[in-house]
Structure 1
Amino acid sequence: MYIWRHPKPIEAKGLCIGQTDIAVDVRKIKRLANKIERFVRLHQLPKVILVSPLRRSLAVGQILEERGFQYYIVPELAEIDFGIWEGRSWEEIAKQDIDDWCNDFAHFAPTGGESLYQLFIRIERWMNIMTIEKGINDASVPIMAVGHAGWINAAKMIAEGKSVPTTANKWPCPVDYLERSQLDF
């Protein structure tokens, strides 16, 4: 699987934006679409891309569709859901809530959101389904997708056989915007 992180959202600095549907500059969306299109052409791959339902990923699929790609919206590719924290400034979130999260990093979830453990389960189930489907279909053709930093980090850990980190200091740094990652699962 090749997965690119979406472009940098507009006005997201200091905000908790897991599944918050936030806008992205159209030029940055086109820049990522250009990178993906070149990659597909260079490696002679089918023009098929999976995207999350969040605009910062979905918009890339829509631009690629204009260029002859097929895109599929995959809800399982969405970023972690921060529940009531979504769209709020990190400064607005109570220090005790952040402390609770750090003290139970794997299992804490803000009200209405999902825990890191739940994100891992969601990703692992999807990866298992994709493995079965790829085994039935042509396993030599890679899956290509546009996703989110938390999702990509979790999927990399799963692909490497690592378990859900129990402390925040075990969570990897996010991949850069527009960066391509390769997952073997």
Structure 2
Amino acid sequence: MDLVLIRHPAVAVEAGVCYGASDVALQGGAAHEAQAIAARLEALGARAPQRVATSPLTRCAQVAVQLAARHAQTPLADARLAEMDFGAWEQQRWDAIDRAQIDAWAANFEHAREHGGESVAQFDARVGAWFATLDVNRPATTWAVTHAGVIRTIAARALGLPLVNCVRWPLEMAAIVWLRYDVRGAQWLLVRWNA
């Protein structure tokens, strides 16, 4: 099984603003962005999807519709693929958030909820519930248009790494992360990161 995770393209939000679960617009047009992503997927040799999943947030769903249409499909929106909910920090500038709150959150990375939204553990459980629905024994390909936090969480689970490690890995806008499940070795392999 192949799992191709696609981060949404750049959004129309000022740099330095927290917008996790906020439904913000894309900076560019979805059709143009999807065309560029499709060309990169083709150049990488990614297999055509049997299923296209997406976060329900506009910045992902609009791109997913365009990508799925290229393969005569309709994307399946799933709330478990939405970005982490940062509660009161949503739409705030990171540098305007009380430093003591950010430090407290960092000190208890998995369980702190200084912002009143989801803890990392809650977010991980939500995303993990979606990841657990994948049938690794089927020779199928799933594309999922989603967010950086979701991609890092899935990669950590698939590769058996602490999430805090994957948070440090660079992941550009419209990045492609390709995972493959090796049935014989009974393990996930990383084919591409930030492609």
One fold, TM greater than 0.5?
yes
Q: Which residue of 2 aligns with 1:30?
A: 31
CA distance in 2, matches of 1:12, 1:47: 36
Q: Which residue of 1 aligns with 2:167?
A: 171
More strand as a share of residues: 2
> Matched residue pairs, number?
176
Structure 1 unaligned regions, length at least 5 = none
CA distance in 1, matches of 2:10, 2:170: 12
Q: What is the CA-CA distance between 1:52 and the residue it aligns to? A: 0.3
Q: 2:6 touches 2:176 (CA, 8 Å); kept in 1?
A: yes
Q: 2:124 touches 2:153 (CA, 8 Å); kept in 1?
A: yes
Q: What is the CA-CA distance between 1:26 and the residue it aligns to? A: 3.5
More helix as a share of residues: 1
Q: Deviations over 1:16-64 (max 9, x none)?
A: 111111111343x223311454436965624642110111101112334
TM (normalized to structure 1)?
A: 0.82
Q: What is the CA-CA distance between 1:174 and the residue it aligns to? A: 3.9
Q: What is the CA-CA distance between 1:69 and the residue it aligns to? A: 3.1
Question: Which residue identity lines up with residue 175 of structure 1 in the other structure?
Answer: L
1:183 is paired with a residue whose SS is strand
Q: What is the CA-CA distance between 1:170 and the residue it aligns to? A: 6.9
Q: What is the CA-CA distance between 1:110 and the residue it aligns to? A: 3.3
Structure 2 unaligned regions, length at least 5 = 181-187, 189-195
TM (normalized to structure 2)?
A: 0.79
Q: Which moved more, 1:82-91 or 1:42-51?
A: 42-51
CA distance in 2, matches of 1:65, 1:45: 10
CA distance in 1, matches of 2:83, 2:166: 19
Please, what is the CA RMSD of the aligned residues?
A: 2.4
1:110 is paired with a residue whose SS is coil
Q: 1:6 touches 1:146 (CA, 8 Å); kept in 2?
A: yes
The structure 1 residue matched to 2:85, chosen from 75, 81, 95, is 81
Change (3 A) 1:35 1:85: same
Q: Which residue of 2 aligns with 1:59?
A: 62
